[in-house]
Structure 1
Amino acid sequence: MKWEHALKDYQHYLKIERGLSANTITNYSFDVEKLVLWLEEHEVTANPISISEEQVQQFIYAIAKKVNGRSQARIISGLRGFFNYLVFEDYRKTNPLELIEAPKTGRKLPDTLSTSEIDALIAAIDLSKPEGERNRAILETLYGCGLRVSEVINLRLSDLFFEEGFIKVTGKGNKSRFVPIAGITQKYIGIYRDQIRSHLDIKKGHEDTLFLNRRGRQLTRAMIFTIIKQLSEICGISKKISPHTFRHSFATHLLENGADLRAIQQMLGHESITTTEIYVHLDRSHLRKVVEEFHPRRR
């Protein structure tokens, strides 16, 4: 079995069986391609079925000298998934990474913004320019709904259900969820939609896209990163922030104010509650308050 055939089958499995997005499939494929490239460079003759644990281990040792622990752990995880698939399909009897441990990387806690910092960033937007109203609506949506940047740029007019108080969000793996949207966020989206967007020369194929650039096309991820970076410089915020910082702040502020972790999980679109639990580590005082309020021995 050739590597390209095995990888193509694996990509098909990830898309059809697991419903993963194209970006995720590409990232998983990179891990396998790194192994194949290393085999070719070192003239190691091995196919997906014959490659041994020792050969894979040599590859892991080699990349450990070039990448940090977090990247190394991700590559090991990606390769383990690939070989698990081959075992599942009876191409192999064992997974050559079964006994290989990923390095302990620790859990990196996300940066968050205070409400005053978020207010300052939004206040720094120049509303005299047409894109100002758009940028305010974007930041309010990022923070008010806890969306990923990819979810914001793909938001459509037909996803807005303002009367019901929700927006429809398409997340990872093309999975949809409904997220509550506050009246203030609806207000700023409405101003942009009715007063700015309606006057744009909207290009074909972008008629339903909510947030557009000046040329009437969908915004890029990079553009939103740039908008936030420029605003943070104006405000003198030294933290390294990105669109995802608003998502982290959304979850953290909800938790600090007593929101249920399961509800936050649903709004963020996390498949596992374990992913959402990282926010508990940001503010352990929340756990103490829960015990003080709800435990029968609190008095």
Structure 2
Amino acid sequence: MKWQNALKNYQLYLKIERGLSKNSIDNYTLDIKKLMRYLEENQISESPISITSEIVQQFIYELAKQANARSQSRIISGLRSFFNYLIFEDYREDNPLELIESPKIGIKLPDTLSEKEIDSIINAIDLAQEYNSVKIGERNRAILETLYGCGLRVSELVNLKLSDLFFDEGFIKVTGKGDKQRFVPIVDATKKYINIYKNEVRPTIHIKEGYEDTLFLNHKGKQLNRAMIFTIIKQLAEKIGLKKSISPHTFRHSFATHLLQNNADLRSIQLMLGHESITTTEIYVHLDKSHLTKVVQQYHPRK
């Protein structure tokens, strides 16, 4: 079996059997292609069926010279998954990464913004800003209010539909990783800014065929891409002189952190964020140890 054939079959497996999103499949693919490129550059002709643990160990050794511990760990995990797939399909009997340990990494605490910093960024938006007669300032405010107000991933934001808005019931329907859907509560302030955009700005856009139900559009009437959301946030951060390195995900982290700081329970936050495991949500506990102190002082019987 050739590498390209094995990779194509693995991608189908990830999509159909495991139901992973395109972004997740692309990340797994990138890890395997790194190994393929290493083999090609070093003129190693081993196939996915015959490659040995010694060759993979040498690849990991070279990788360690240019990638940090977190990146190494992710790539090792991705390759281990690929070779487990080959075992599952009876192409191999062993996993060449079985005895390879991932480098130890500490907990990476997500960057967050304070409520004041959130307000400063949103207030920096020029609401009068237009592009081709489209009030993109109003649109950008609705975008950031939705990111922060609902704790969405950037991919979830750009894929929001008009038909996903259930304002009368107080929810929006979000399609997350693996096309799993969840309902997220939406506060009045966020509804207000979405409605301003939806009722006053969106009707001025000449919408292209196929995007009639897409909520957030660019000035050409098509769905915004992820890169555009990153650019909007980066420009606003520079405008207010913010020294932190932030991204759309920073608003999601801030959403979760501020809920926790205001005594929301982890299980509720988990459901709103769409985390499969509460272990993922628990990372927010590490952001503010004072929250744990408050919980003990308030709820312990011997306080």
Normalising by structure 2, we get a TM-score of 0.95
**Shift of residue 97 of structure 1?**
0.6
Q: How does 1:1-299 map to 2 (within 5 A)?
A: 1-129=1-129, 130-298=135-303
**CA deviation profile, 1:212-247 (whole Å, cap 9, x unmatched):** 111211112121111111211222211111111110
Residues of 2 paired with 1:282 and 1:125: CA distance? 28
Residues of 1 paired with 2:98 and 2:154: CA distance? 35
CA separation of 1:159/1:53 partners in 2, compared to 1, >3 Å: closer, same or farther? Answer: same
Residues of 2 paired with 1:68 and 1:99: CA distance? 20
SS at match of 2:182: strand
Residues of 1 paired with 2:117 and 2:96: CA distance? 49
**Shift of residue 82 of structure 1?**
0.6
Normalising by structure 1, we get a TM-score of 0.96
**CA deviation profile, 1:91-112 (whole Å, cap 9, x unmatched):** 2222111110111232221111
Residues of 2 paired with 1:243 and 1:177: CA distance? 20
Q: Which residue of 1 aligns with 2:132?
A: none
Residues of 1 paired with 2:90 and 2:302: CA distance? 55
Q: Which amino acid aligns with 2:150?
A: C
Between 43-52 and 211-220, the greater mean CA deviation after superposition: 43-52
SS at match of 1:228: helix
- Aligned alpha-carbon RMSD (Å): 1.3
Q: Percent identity over the alignment? A: 71
Residues of 1 paired with 2:231 and 2:6: CA distance? 39
Structure 1: gaps (5+ residues): none
Residues of 2 paired with 1:224 and 1:36: CA distance? 33
Residues of 2 paired with 1:214 and 1:205: CA distance? 15
SS at match of 2:263: coil
Residues of 2 paired with 1:26 and 1:134: CA distance? 30
Between 161-170 and 43-52, the greater mean CA deviation after superposition: 43-52
Count of residue pairs the alignment pairs up:
298
**Shift of residue 83 of structure 1?**
0.9
Runs of 4+ aligned residues of structure 1 deviating over 3 Å after TM superposition are none
**Shift of residue 4 of structure 1?**
2.1
**CA deviation profile, 1:188-220 (whole Å, cap 9, x unmatched):** 100110011112111111111111111211112
**Shift of residue 119 of structure 1?**
1.1
**Shift of residue 162 of structure 1?**
0.2
Q: Which amino acid aligns with 2:12?
A: H
**Shift of residue 38 of structure 1?**
1.6
Q: Which amino acid aligns with 1:227?
A: I
Structure 2: gaps (5+ residues): 130-134
Residues of 1 paired with 2:112 and 2:207: CA distance? 35
**CA deviation profile, 1:24-70 (whole Å, cap 9, x unmatched):** 11211121122122222222232222211111111111211222222
SS at match of 1:237: coil
Q: Which amino acid aligns with 2:195?
A: G
